[in-house]
Chains A and B, each alone.
Chain A
Amino acid sequence: MKKENTVIVALAVLAAVVAAAWLLLVAPAMTGNEINMPRGVTSQSAIHYDLHMIVLWVTVVIGIGVFTVMFTSIVLHRKSRGYVAAKFSHSTRAEIIWTAIPVLILIAMAVPATTALVKMEDASGTEMTVKITGFQWRWKYEYLDQGISFISTLDAASNAARQLGSDIEPESVPNYLLEVDHPLVLPVGKKIKFLITADDVIHSWWVPELGWKRDAIPGFINEAWTNIDEPGTYRGQCAELCGKDHGFMPIVIIALPEAEFEAWAEAQLADSQNQQQDVERLWTREELMQQGKSVYASACATCHQPDGQGLTPAFPALAGSKIATGPLDAHIDIVMNGRAGTAMSGWREKLSAADIATALTYTRNAFGNDTGDVVQPITIAEIMRQNAAGGTTP
């Protein structure tokens, strides 16, 4: 080897060793960032963590063995040291050994892997059920036993900071991108069944501390379960690419002791009864516009933008649009039922009658769309009732 190349190689080997040590040892400690899977707060997450660590160490040990042999050879069996090549080209016995031993290791790994999977898929004996529906880009939670239902959306502070060119430091926002307006509240110590589905495209519901993720697929209802051991706040995200705001549909679970959970559930029910009464009365234009503005900001502005100018090409402007300034019935229809083949999904199932009515009023009067139209919550509630009746008796 030329002397020049020897220097390159010596420097490079040194750099490689330093880089490897730094990546494996120094960087994780220096940053203080988590580098491993969380052990989590459920029996499943602990099993999955143990499984992960077993396989990780098995591979590390095999890796150290193989690479030690290889680098020993690289050091010793060099032409520059005058080593003369051996002539052997096969050894049936060696090859049988290194086929058989991996098979045995695999069988040993398959045992705990199978047990874990059987446990994961056993959703029997659950004590309450929550239905989770993913849609672009929110989660809807329905407590089937308690009769509570709400939609969970990225919180306003994160949403403002995450806009392109917002000039808001993400570090200044508490729990940036991992905070929602309505967290999923669950009791600890109860086996909870989740029924997971989606309304438009495929999403995936994942909270690492629970130990699993499961896809939310339109037309399918997937089953999963958990049993949270410790009260606390656990955060996760949608894990399946679901469109432009895939990175912005977090999941937050607040796990409460059973008594506190019951109190929370009662308060929720009382709240929804109040809302029910609110739908029956006539709202003033100011009330409609005020609530409409906040509904628009949380539900519509992601695509149609806060100023109603839309986002070409996929998301049309509402300012001056034919729909938002045209006949009211067509506008109600597209908001309630969506438009097939586009990202506009129907909001009938996802927003309350009051929310839809106020959002409609707002979009027909904001951004220079001065139609003067007012949509009352009762009107939308009536349409919802008719649709529901029509749905059951075709």
Chain B
Amino acid sequence: MSTDITHAIDGQADPDQVHDGHDESDHKPKGFLNRWLFTTNHKDIGTLYLILSLVAFMVGGAMAMIIRAELFMPGLQLVEPDFFNQMVTMHALVMVFGAIMPAWVGFANWLVPMMVGAPDMALPRMNNWSFWILPFAFTLLLSTLFMDSGGPASGWTLYPPLVLQTGSSLVFVVFSVHMLGISSIMGAINIITTILNMRAPGMTLLRMPMFVWTWLITAFLLIAVMPVLAGAVTMLLTDHFFGTNFFNAAGGGDPVMFQHIFWFFGHPEVYIMILPAFGVISEILPTFSRKPLFGYTSMVYATATIGFLSFIVWAHHMFTVGMPLQGELFFMYATMLISVPTGVKVFNWVSTMWQGSMTFETPMLFAIAFVVLFTIGGFSGLMLAITAADFQYHDTYFVVAHFHYVLVPGAVFALMAATYYWLPKFTGNMYSEKWGKIHFWLSAIFVNVLFFPQHYLGLAGMPRRIPDYSPQFADFNMISSLGGFAFGATQLIFVGVVWHCVYRSKVRATARVWEGARGLEWTLPSPPPYHSFTTPPEVTHNMLSYAK
């Protein structure tokens, strides 16, 4: 079937005749429910994903504020320890599955068809379903906080036997994880199908924009690991409610087996959140450097290598469980290796900027901050890979600082860069550059005030996931909390800038938006027509920054 589509499009390829007589009508469905609930349009679904993710970002952020408020000073002032643990657990689940992953799917929905020259996603009805599962999954997950037995309080890693002490709300958690997994898998299938089958003539694989490449690899990771997570939580379900003993040592089970299964999912999951960010940065840096991406081919291979390595490093999350020496050595060496392709990426980004003709609009600022701060997170990752030193770092605030550096000024900054970069294309309006810059600088400063002292706390001996601590950790916790409140408040500016751009901005965006922008999406008007490319464009050398 897919070849039919490509063939049919090939047959009518004529770049001069991009739109036929229906140019004036966008075919937008009439009525709110028809437009949004029953939509099969990649842009509307992308918008829905992005709105959901912004809401989840605020909900998860509010939980983080509760955590940082309780940790503001020693002693318990605000919440009971059990509720604190629920906040720690839910903050992570909401941010990972609600904020970051759906945001990337949202951008993929908007951008992949426009970037490869397709009218829409390959499987539009499945696209609708994969989005509309999510609000229900999150309602289930969040509803556990209001249940008698309380929400899950075992950390997002859901380690047994602790997680099996969760009351009946565990069943809701497991079912919502199943639904999130189904949604992700369907989204991934859709993206792979679109990329492999719906590219315009001339859009060869090694001409694809980096964002498309990184998402293609991400989608394969998703399909590989989401069923593994579903299997792991299903075993938790049967252990809790049906008397099985997968993870119960007293019944012949193995609690460590869960950790192996979980992290076989969990490590690729880390790259699921960061690979699309690599793609975005590789789009933005060339645009504002007015220079092609340095080493496009090696960027593609580095991404694929990172994707492959992500499957063979999982046990570095569990160096302290008591593995054999050989196992510890293998996972240490494999983990250290990841820094090679990651280093290639960073060096290539710097080389892209080198001798460019740079300007520093908000997307560029976020992209530069990403390169610097993600690299700092990568350095602490390399330190954590050293098994013997990890016996000290493991489960401390050093780890908390590490993964927040790669996820907040990493993945989240890339998402913000992407928002500022493409929002004018999506809406046809320019955002406020002044408020964008204010948002950037406040974010960039406070994210470091928030997370940098956590390195100190962890090295000095503060374990993670504790609601109260010895006064020797008081000063840096207070600094971190103050940074946290300021960073949280700053994100309200972001919401304001987006709202203003969509509804209030009087400045119209041109089709190309940015002087140095290359790629098919910039050949469409801003905002683009409802069905992106009704006839496929002929992809030529100078349309893409990477064209050979």
Contact = CB atoms under 8 A, between A and B. Distances in A.
B7 interface: no
19 contacts: A48-B388, A48-B389, A55-B386, A59-B383, A63-B375, A63-B376, A73-B353, A73-B356, A87-B291, A98-B347, A106-B336, A113-B389, A121-B325, A176-B470, A177-B74, A178-B470, A208-B392, A223-B322, A246-B85
B355 A73 contact: yes
Contacts of B469: 177, 247
B392 A313 contact: no
9 closest residue pairs by CB, A with B? A219-B249, A247-B466, A12-B441, A212-B391, A31-B475, A59-B379, A116-B388, A222-B322, A35-B456
Contacts of A175: 470
Contacts of A60: 379
B343 to A, nearest CB: 5
Interface string A74-96: 10011110011111111100110
B368 interface: yes
Contact of A239 (B297, B353, B394): B394
A15 B254 contact: no
Interface string A112-154: 0110111011000000000000000000000000000000000
A55 B291 contact: no
A325 interface: no
Contact of B167 (A78, A79, A219, A313): A313
Contact of B475 (A33, A66, A121, A213): A33
B459 A9 contact: no
Contacts of A9: 360, 437, 441
A63 B379 CA distance: 8
A95 B341 CA distance: 11
B472 A78 contact: no
A305 to B, nearest CB: 11
A342 B165 CA distance: 5
B438 interface: yes
B358 A98 contact: no
A8 B438 contact: yes
Contacts of A27: 453, 475-476, 479
Give the size range of A's interface with the partner.
35 or more
A159 B518 CA distance: 63
Contact of B463 (A20, A163, A164, A238): A238
B506 to A, nearest CB: 16
A102 B340 contact: yes
Contact of B85 (A63, A237, A241): A241
B298 to A, nearest CB: 5
A290 to B, nearest CB: 29
Task: Classify the interface of chain B: helix, strand, loop or mixed.
Answer: helix
Contact of B354 (A73, A90, A313): A73
A91 B295 CA distance: 7
B289 interface: yes
Interface string B431-461: 0011001101100110011001101100111
A213 B394 contact: yes
B107 interface: no
Nearest to B365: A9
A243 interface: yes
Contacts of B293: 89
B434 A5 contact: yes
B165 A343 contact: yes
B17 interface: no
Nearest to A52: B389
A171 B459 contact: no
A213 B395 contact: yes
Contacts of B78: 164
Given A63-B376, A90-B297, A218-B249, A51 B460 contact: no
Contacts of A36: 456, 459-460
Interface residues of B, number: 119
B430 to A, nearest CB: 13
Contacts of B527: none
A48 B382 contact: no
A2 B436 CA distance: 14
B468 A247 contact: yes
A38 interface: yes
A78 B359 contact: yes
A297 interface: no
A28 B456 contact: yes
Given A161-B75, A211-B392, A223-B322, A33 B353 contact: no
A37 interface: yes
A127 to B, nearest CB: 22
B353 A70 contact: yes
B388 A120 contact: yes
B25 to A, nearest CB: 39
Given A35-B460, A239-B395, A98 B343 contact: yes
B489 to A, nearest CB: 16
B59 interface: no
A69 B354 contact: yes
Interface of B: 74-82, 85, 88, 148-150, 153-155, 159, 161-162, 164-165, 167, 240, 249-250, 253-256, 289-298, 320-322, 325, 328-329, 332-333, 336-337, 339-340, 343-344, 346-348, 350-351, 353-360, 368, 371-372, 375-376, 379-380, 382-383, 386-389, 391-396, 433-434, 437-438, 440-441, 444-445, 448-449, 452-453, 455-456, 459-461, 463-476, 479, 546
Given A66-B347, A102-B340, A169-B75, A240 B395 contact: yes
Interface stretch (A197-205, A252-260, A264-272): A197-205
A120 B391 contact: yes
Contact of B74 (A55, A171, A217): A171
A120 B253 CA distance: 28
B256 A217 contact: yes
B448 A23 contact: yes
A99 interface: yes
Given A74-B353, A77-B358, A162-B75, A204 B320 contact: yes
Nearest to B148: A313
B382 A55 contact: yes
A314 B82 contact: yes
A84 B289 CA distance: 10
B404 to A, nearest CB: 15
Interface string A15-49: 11001100110011001011111100000010110
Contacts of A73: 350, 353-356, 358
Given A34-B472, A48-B388, A117-B329, A244 B355 contact: no
Given A16-B445, A34-B460, A109-B386, A78 B394 contact: no
Contacts of A215: 320-322
Nearest to A113: B386
Given A37-B392, A247-B468, A80 B359 contact: yes
A282 interface: no
A330 interface: no
A236 interface: yes
A56 B473 CA distance: 22
Given A2-B433, A16-B441, A314-B82, 12 more contacts: A8-B441, A83-B358, A102-B343, A109-B386, A171-B471, A202-B255, A220-B255, A237-B461, A239-B463, A241-B88, A311-B80, A312-B148
Contact of B162 (A38, A55, A114, A201): A201
A73 B332 CA distance: 35
A113 B358 contact: no
A16 B442 CA distance: 9
Contacts of A83: 355-358
Contacts of A24: 452
**For B389, B445, B459, B465, which residue has the most chain A Cβ atoms within 10 angstroms?**
B389
A310 interface: no
Nearest to A218: B249
Nearest to A168: B75
A73 to B, nearest CB: 5
Contacts of B437: 5, 8-9, 12
